[in-house]
């Protein structure tokens, strides 16, 4: 469903009938509306009302004839189906009424498989659509920020269309797409219309059959000439509507029959399907070093991360993932509002076996929380407490230590709490000196004093209070089970600045 102009695909119809048989995995279901209630769920859908003038699009940009309402005469839910009904009637100065719904700021998506099971209207002058528009239009007005038409049909429903719009702002916009016709009247029964949306490719399917493909080699946005994925690298929202008339289908005639309706069985969105986990930007994170929280592996929900909901509620940096990422007051980005059970995975390369000091930058408005860090499935830190800091951007550092083996492995950061929420900015790993007795990341006179206490402890038969059994083991540099003169000789090599 276009605004301002319509691509007429007549010359391209035959080219797009080359059908594929490849099966495309759906991925994980992240949202759906099954229309199993008694009314339209307004947590999912907003009614758009009028002739478009209130939205800056008189005639909805296409010289359409209908006036959209939220009346039950035009839109209702019954027996598990959503009905969008176009009627020929006098209303608000118009001769036709219908309905238009959108998920703007309620359900916004980037990438994945988006599909609906629909039964279409079919008569001269009718124009049903299942489509998407950008949520925030970061590249400018239509169509510089894009439009994706998952399914459109005009007039008698014997052909369906899939189209993308991109390029510059109208009238400098461009479009491309395909269509499918196999002799079926798509108004006679339900069919499933889907788009498989990936960063560099879009595929249109009917009942699982591929009929058209577009790639990022074709689309572009004049506002981002160096970004091959623009404008289709930002969140979009869904629309369902039935228009009457307009520049593309033409207008109802003597043979037209009203009322006409599009019946929607369900709308479903699946996360991108991927079972392959790979390091973000293609390289493992080095340890020792700093790992930014937002640099978790690629692979998607349940593979490289688990997040409580499907959307990136922070809207920043990696909007194609379901992890909440926002701009950080300390610069860069942070992962936000980690809730109970969430986790993030990072492919890391530990350069040296040893004991590491781990410093995590965290912030929590009110609850605090806890986490632990695993390496290849083994808990290396135990529970680490995140304190309340009084603000989502009021950062503090929490520390822990872990004994790590050298080599490439998968690190998992796990929010071990239940209802606790906090923000995470980064982790820093520092290889501890074996002489850092108190494991504070600095070898100084305090470590000398602690070592001296541990060295004296066995000789006098009592363990000094400052020398715990764990610290006693730390002072056993040669690993013979005792802190003795052999360890003292090792310790003598230490030079205090």
Q: What distance in Å separates the CA atoms of residue 227 and residue 221, rounded to the nearest whole number?
A: 8
Q: Which is the catalytic residue, given 66, 115, 152, 421? A: 152
* Token reading at 304: 């490289």
* Residue 215: CB atoms within 10 Å: 12
Interatomic CA distance for residues 314 and 239, integer angstroms: 23
For 148: left if phi > 0, alpha if psi spans -120 to 50, otherwise beta; the answer is beta
Q: Residue 11 and residue 467: Cα distance in Å, rounded?
A: 84
Helix (H) or strand (E) holding 411: strand 407-415
Please say whether the beta carbons of 82 and 42 come within 8 A: no
The pair phi, psi for residue 273, each rounded to 5°, is: -85, 120
Hey, how many other C-beta atoms are within 10 angstroms of the C-beta on 153?
25
Rounded Cα–Cα distance for residues 69 and 133 (Å): 20
Tracing tokens 């199993």 back to the chain, one arrives at 36
CA 298 to chain centre: 11
430 Cβ contact partners less than 8 Å away, ≥ 6 residues apart = 288, 356, 357, 359, 441
The catalytically annotated residue of 64, 115, 147, 430 is 147
Which is nearest to 435 in space by CA: 387, 395, 483? 483
Residue 152 is among the residues annotated as catalytic for this protein:
yes
Is 147 one of the annotated active-site residues of the chain? yes
Q: Which residues are catalytic?
A: 147, 152
């Amino acid at each position: 469903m276009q605004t301002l102009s319509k691509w007429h695909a007549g010359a391209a119809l035959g080219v797009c009938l080359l059908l594929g048989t490849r099966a495309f995995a759906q991925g994980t279901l992240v949202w759906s509306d099954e229309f199993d209630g008694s009314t339209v769920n307004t947590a999912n859908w907003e009614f758009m009302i009028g002739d478009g003038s209130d939205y800056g699009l008189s005639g909805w940009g296409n010289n359409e004839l209908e006036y959209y309402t939220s009346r039950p005469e035009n839109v209702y839910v019954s027996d598990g189906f959503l009905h969008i009904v176009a009627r020929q009637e006098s209303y608000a100065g118009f001769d036709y009424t219908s309905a238009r719904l959108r998920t703007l700021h309620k359900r916004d998506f980037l990438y994945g498989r988006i599909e609906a099971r629909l039964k279409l209207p079919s008569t001269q002058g009718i124009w049903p659509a299942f489509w998407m528009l950008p949520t925030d239009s970061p590249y400018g007005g239509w169509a510089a920020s894009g439009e994706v038409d998952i399914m459109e049909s005009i007039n008698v429903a014997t052909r369906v269309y899939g189209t993308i719009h991109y390029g510059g702002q109208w009238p400098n916009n461009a479009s491309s797409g395909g269509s499918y016709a196999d002799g079926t009247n798509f108004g006679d029964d339900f069919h499933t219309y889907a788009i498989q949306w990936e960063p560099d490719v879009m595929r249109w399917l009917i009942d699982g059959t591929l009929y058209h493909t577009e790639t990022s080699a074709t689309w572009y946005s004049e506002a981002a000439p160096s970004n091959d994925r623009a404008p289709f690298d930002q969140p979009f929202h869904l629309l369902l509507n039935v228009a009457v008339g307009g520049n593309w289908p033409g207008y109802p005639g003597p043979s037209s029959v009203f009322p006409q309706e599009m019946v929607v069985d369900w709308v479903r969105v699946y996360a991108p399907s991927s079972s392959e986990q790979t390091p973000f930007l293609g390289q493992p994170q080095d340890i020792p070093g700093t790992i930014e929280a937002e640099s978790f592996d690629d692979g998607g929900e349940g593979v490289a991360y688990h997040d409580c909901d499907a959307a990136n509620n922070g809207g920043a940096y990696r909007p194609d993932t379901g992890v909440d990422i926002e701009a950080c007051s300390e610069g860069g980005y942070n992962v936000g509002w980690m809730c109970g059970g969430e986790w993030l995975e990072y492919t890391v390369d530990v350069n040296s076996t040893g004991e590491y000091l781990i410093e995590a930058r965290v912030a929590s408005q009110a609850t605090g929380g806890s986490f632990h860090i695993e390496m290849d499935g083994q808990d290396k830190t135990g529970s680490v407490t995140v304190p309340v800091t009084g603000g989502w951007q009021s950062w503090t550092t929490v520390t822990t230590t872990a004994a790590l083996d050298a080599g490439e492995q998968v690190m998992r950061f796990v929010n071990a709490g239940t209802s606790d929420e906090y923000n995470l900015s980064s982790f820093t790993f520092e290889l501890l000196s074996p002489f850092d007795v108190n494991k504070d990341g600095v070898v100084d006179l305090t470590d000398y004093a602690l070592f001296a206490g541990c060295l004296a402890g066995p000789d006098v038969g009592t363990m000094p209070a400052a020398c715990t059994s764990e610290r006693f083991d730390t002072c056993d540099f040669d690993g013979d089970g005792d802190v003795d003169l052999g360890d003292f000789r090792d310790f003598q090599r230490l030079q205090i600045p």
